[in-house]
Amino acid sequence: MDRKPGSVKTGWQRTVCLALVATMSSLVTVACRDSTKALEPLGSWSAAGSWEGRVVITDDQSRYPADAVTIVSATIDGDTLNLTVSYGGGCSDHAFGMLAGTAWMESYPVQIGMRLAHDAHGDACDALLTRTLRFDLTPLKTAYAASYHSATGIMTLRITGSSLSPTYSF
């Protein structure tokens, strides 16, 4: 089927165009995807009532929701980041994700910028909820090992919107 100039591209054509634009713009990190697809799930509620997910390393944190949430505490136990958070709601389920940037701050220990994504799904209720969130930090350990050729390391997690900066040692 022939397309007229300026017509909308679909499927693989859109992905190819995104890859070409990214290449011509000299971007350091490129991730091609079809923009019509839904974002991947970043975790789920456990039977115990805590959110459990995995850290997502991305250079495009702006495509993830940023509804209001307060991080009350942050601790690390092994390869798990434990957050206690509070937020307004109570009428629908909320979703969370822990995002890590692709650019690390070279210092000792290495520092990595992170952001807690929060999707309230339009919940306009005003109950103050406190929940526990758990995130698997293994993707950071894997990326560190690939970058520094070491199975052990230390990194400081700089969480946007929080004065808390837990240290992850592995």
**Structural domain boundaries in the chain:** 9-37, 43-169
At residue 133's C-alpha, the angle toward residues 130 and 139, to 5°, is: 160
Q: Give the H/E segment covering residue 92.
A: none
pLDDT, tens digit (0-9, with 9 covering 90-100), for 51-93: 999 999 999 988 999 999 999 999 999 999 999 999 999 999 8
| Matching residue, tokens 């991947």 | 40
In whole angstroms, what is the distance from residue 39 CA to residue 41 CA? 6
pLDDT, tens digit (0-9, with 9 covering 90-100), for 7-57: 443 333 333 333 333 333 333 333 333 333 344 568 898 888 889 999 999
User: What is the pLDDT at residue 48?
Assistant: 80
User: What is the pLDDT at residue 41?
Assistant: 67
What average pLDDT score do residues 83-111 get?
A: 94
pLDDT, tens digit (0-9, with 9 covering 90-100), for 115-144: 999 999 999 999 999 999 999 999 999 999
User: What is the pLDDT at residue 30?
Assistant: 33
Question: Rounded to two decimals, what is the model's pTM?
Answer: 0.75
Q: For the domain bounded by 43-169, which CATH number is listed?
A: 2.60.40.3220
**Tokens of residue 54, six digits:** 């995995």
Peptide bond into 109 cis (omega under 30): yes
- Three-class DSSP category at 12: helix
